[in-house]
Amino acid sequence: MNAYNKSPNSLRLHVARWVVPVSRPPIENGAIATFEGKILGVGPASELRASYPGEIKDYGDSILCPALINTHSHLELSPLKRRLSPGGSFVDWVRALIENRDLIRPEEWEPAIYQAIKEMQENGIIAVGDVGNLDIIPLFSSRKDGAWPFRGVFFQELVCPIPNGAEEEIPLSAPFVNGKITEPMDIWSPSFHYAFSAHAPYSVAPQILKTIKAWDQSHGMPFPIHVAESEEEIEFLQGGQGPLRELLKEKGHWPLNYDIPKASPVRYLETLGLLDRHTVCVHCVQVDRDDISILAKTGAGVCLCPRSNIFLGVGVPPVEELHASGIPLALGTDSLASNDRLSIFAEMASLSKLAPGLPPEAIFRAGTYGGAKALGISEELGSLASGKAATFLALESGPIGNKDILEFLVHEGYKELGNLVIG
Ligand SMILES: [Zn+2]
């Protein structure tokens, strides 16, 4: 991918057959005026030429649109690409993931993560909400060699077995000291933040879920958590039975004194007071009408990972209903342990097949503005508007009609490796 970054301090007018700002309808023969790394204006080229008499960069039959946001990834799992097979049960996959993760050789991390970063960049991704249990990605992102290109947030994920009894017996993960999360180390760049996430409602004790949420909240950070990904999760939270119970027992985490929530994952999180507009519920495949109304009422967002859901065979999220209820949607690739690509354009194409009733505008919005909003970076990224970062994608489209522009992005975007433009 080539970055257009010549004399970034000059006033420049980027002109193309189509500009798709996301915050407003597509503009035919549109333009983006940029100056000193910021967007000054977006509109018809004829109007902007008069207001911003700068250097003109003409992209011809191209689409200029926001760079994409991968709201949910696990880059540290990149060495597992094509090592796990699709189609088994969810719990079998978790078991295989744990086993294979332990088999990763130290020398495998770096090339696999470099390759994963490159793939995301080539597919127009500018920011990530990356989740991990190790310090590999925080260390990667703090390197001074320019290897880390993304903005967004790294979430240190906590998997804390549900307690057997006394709170102090909880085997806590590294960032915890006496049941409280410690402050993260100061090793990241100013545009890449650090926060905490909880793995899932079934794998983290309720008190710890609350502590993580409270830390994220007090630091102005979003709180992501895998929610309602599989039928097995529903079975366990509703009745304490099923293959997840077996897995917890197998790992020595079976909670003797655990109060089964007897509720859906969404209702359980609501009961704990964890749902608000800064909570990002990842997956939400197995949600019913009640769950959808709770999500809508609390303002919690949903990050869809359609290709991961297909890989794992966990079902199809009720996307049209989520959208119709006004729930903010974002898109994520999840990891290369449950996906063979790290492309938000590919997620868009898959989502449109899974949810044919969802308008292409909503799908494209989920992969751009929806993701930026979910990660708390929408003042800078996610749409093209004055004051935002002058960073966008230029995709060659050839001649294309007005009504097809968003269809083209959603269905064909993954075929066009656009250039990331830094104006
Ligand atoms: Zn995940």
Q: Is 361 exposed, middle or buried (0-12, 13-18, 19+ CB in 10 A)?
A: middle
What is the distance in A from the centroid of ligand 1 to the CA of 77? 10
Q: What is the pLDDT of residue 166?
A: 43
pLDDT at 235: 97
CA of 208 to the centre of ligand 1 (A): 19
The predicted model scores a pTM of 0.93
Query: Is residue 163 a contact partner of residue 169, using CB atoms and an 8 Å limit?
Result: yes
Alpha carbon distance 293, 283 (integer Å): 16
At 269-290, the pLDDT tens digits run 999 999 999 999 999 999 999 9
Q: How far is the CA of 90 from the centre of ligand 1 (A)?
A: 13
> What does the pLDDT profile of the chain (423 residues) look like in tens digits?
334 444 556 899 999 999 999 999 999 999 999 999 999 999 999 999 999 999 999 999 999 999 999 999 999 999 999 899 877 799 999 999 999 999 999 999 999 999 999 999 999 999 999 999 888 898 888 887 878 999 999 999 988 666 544 444 444 444 444 445 555 555 556 789 999 999 999 988 888 899 899 989 998 999 999 999 999 999 999 999 999 999 988 877 766 567 889 999 999 999 999 999 999 999 999 999 999 999 999 999 999 999 999 999 999 999 999 999 999 999 999 999 999 999 999 999 999 999 999 999 999 999 999 999 999 999 999 999 999 999 999 998 877 776 689 999 999 877 766 677 776
3-state helix, strand, coil in the chain (%, to 5): 35, 20, 40
* Helix pair 231-239, 243-250: axis angle to 10 deg: 80
C-beta of residue 413 within 8 angstroms of C-beta of residue 395: yes
Using the mean position of ligand 1's atoms as its centre, give its distance from the Cα of residue 199 in Å. 8
Q: In whole angstroms, give the CA distance from residue 207 to residue 13.
A: 53
| Cα–ligand 1 centroid distance for 221 (angstroms) | 18
Ligand 1 geometric centre to CA of 33 (Å):
37
How many A from CA of 404 to the centre of ligand 1? 32
pLDDT in tens, 190-215: 789 999 999 999 988 888 899 899 98
17 Cα–ligand 1 center, Å: 37
User: Ligand 1 centroid vs 226 CA: distance in angstroms?
Assistant: 6
What pLDDT does 256 receive?
Answer: 58
219 C-alpha to ligand 1 centroid (Å): 22
DSSP summary character for residue 318: -
**Tokens in use for 385?**
């508007």
Distance CA 99, CA 185 (A): 29
Q: What is the pLDDT of residue 416?
A: 65
**For residue 74, how far is its CA from the centre of ligand 1 (angstroms)?**
6
Say how many Å lie between the CA of residue 383 and the centre of ligand 1.
25
**Residue 138 identity (one-letter amino acid):** P
Contact (Cβ atoms closer than 8 angstroms) between residue 406 and residue 20: yes
Strands (E), 317-422: 329-331, 391-396, 419-422
- Indicate the SS3 state at residue 123: coil
What the chain holds in terms of domains, given with CATH numbers, is 12-66+382-422 (2.30.40.10), 68-374 (3.20.20.140)
What is the distance in A from the centroid of ligand 1 to the CA of 73?
A: 6
